[in-house]
Amino acid sequence: MDGVHDMGGMHGFGKVEPEANEPVFHAAWEARCLALNRAMGVAGAWTIDEGRFGIEELPPAVYVARSYYGKWALRLENMVVERGFAGADEIAAGHALRPGKPLKRKFDLAAVARSLVRGSFGREAPAPARFKVGDRVRTKNVHPATHTRLPRYARGRVGVVEALRGCHVFPDTSATGAGENPQWLYTVRFDGRELWGETTDPTLQVSIEAFEPYLEAA
């Protein structure tokens, strides 16, 4: 979706402000929030792509104003309610008022190790890769209203396939519950001037990780 989360190239957000000796969490609730979100993912409540879409669906003003874990908390609340894992009345009450509907697995001590390794999204290829290293490709000019991993700044642009990364779960379908629909994944490199115009720093190159449906031959 063409949301405010798709920030590449936007102006006006100001300087990057690194914090010296930054703690892992800035408040105890941030740690609980991270752990709860990951725990529900490991428990099978939603996929990583559905979870990302859940953040993108926050209203733009909320997305920009809230801290990172503030967004995660709102997403968690929205998703457990939408998917029927808890009622808004229960969250307001601060206690369960009904038994929960079944989940794939409980997030217990045995599941912790699983939450500390990224999931594996490589899948068997349903067809040979359409492009090879060195091919010139153009990203499609598409504007899906749902989740996509093709950033706006890199749509309708010509780049070069630099690497094949295997065949992966396709976020665009996975995010809406439409299935894994595995697709080839490529690193596609663009000249900075192709993305940002002729006045751009000529030493700049930018790459995205592009799923095959995002690409056509150029």
CB-nearer residue toward another protein: 27 or 127: 27
DSSP structural state of residue 120: P
Q: Rounded to the nearest whole angstrom, what is the least distance from the CB of residue 72 to another protein in the complex? A: 9
Q: Rounded to the nearest whole angstrom, what is the least distance from the CB of residue 127 to another protein in the complex? A: 19
The span from the CA of 39 to the CA of 108, in Å, is 9
CB-nearer residue toward another protein: 137 or 210: 210
Tell the burial category of 162 from Cβ atoms under 10 Å away from its Cβ (0-12, 13-18, 19+): middle
CB-nearer residue toward another protein: 69 or 131: 69
The span from the CA of 54 to the CA of 61, in Å, is 15
Q: Rounded to the nearest whole angstrom, what is the least distance from the CB of residue 145 to another protein in the complex? A: 16
CB-nearer residue toward another protein: 24 or 217: 24
List phi, psi (to 5°) of 152: -55, -40
Q: Rounded to the nearest whole angstrom, what is the least distance from the CB of residue 166 to another protein in the complex? A: 7
- Residue 216 near residue 137, CB atoms below 8 Å: yes
